[in-house]
Amino acid sequence: MHVKICGITNLDDALAAIDAGADYLGFNFYPKSQRFISPADCADITAALRNHASRVTPHAPHITFVGIFVNEPPARVAAILRDCGLDLAQLHGDETPEELAELKGRAFKALRGTGVKNPSDFVLNGQTPALLVDAYSPNTYGGTGHTADWAAAHVIAEQFPIFLAGGLTPENVADAIAQVKPWGVDVASGVEVSPRKKDRVKMQKFMEIARDEGRRTKDE
């Protein structure tokens, strides 16, 4: 079970997330988000993380850095990926399949709710994760704290490797994994003290429960 800790805004939280066992770290470049981070600040964090890893744990598994974007031109997304040393872009707005394709395998699409009739239009061959499924809000592009439609997410997860997002917490992540059977889970508000500060204990608890349930689900 792959775990993404999203909404990272400072180095201490990034290090705590990695110590807890996160596979992916998410940095939100949507200006209206409570967890917005500037490209310059993100670049400082990722550079520090790579320096830390090379000195302390040179053989540790690679942590994948993800930038979250909402309705940004693909050229700007690509530039921020380059400047911040990020691996992937998560397109969380109203982007088209054509805009996704412009990023040449370095992006995946977030589906908000069940309004997309053909999720496969946003799936690039062989890409993992293929999609992220989040809760829908008419006024907010993610980060609502609301749970997604798990039944609808399960249908998509049967076809593609997905991240499940939306209102996940240490208390409900086991049920979410059992019902949806996603490739990975994505959490932000569920492991926070406040929108810009993570809770180390909650991250560790979330990670342990997600991994345990992922193993149990896989063995079924």
Active site residue 42: no
CA distance 181 to 150: 10
Is-contact 167 145, C-beta < 8 A? yes
- Tell me which residue of 60, 59, 77, 76 sits closest to 68, measured CA to CA: 77
Distance of CA 144 to the CA centre of its chain: 14
> Which residue is catalytic, options 94, 134, 175, 212?
134
| Region class of 167: left (phi > 0), else alpha (psi between -120 and 50), else beta | left
Give the SS3 label for residue 114: coil
6 is catalytic: yes
CA distances to 8, 86, 108, 199 from 187, rounded to whole Å, are 11, 19, 17, 12
Strands 192-194 and 197-198: antiparallel
- Measured in Å, how far apart are the chain's first and last C-alpha atoms? 14
Which among 6, 13, 84, 186 is annotated as catalytic? Answer: 6
Catalytic residues: 6, 134
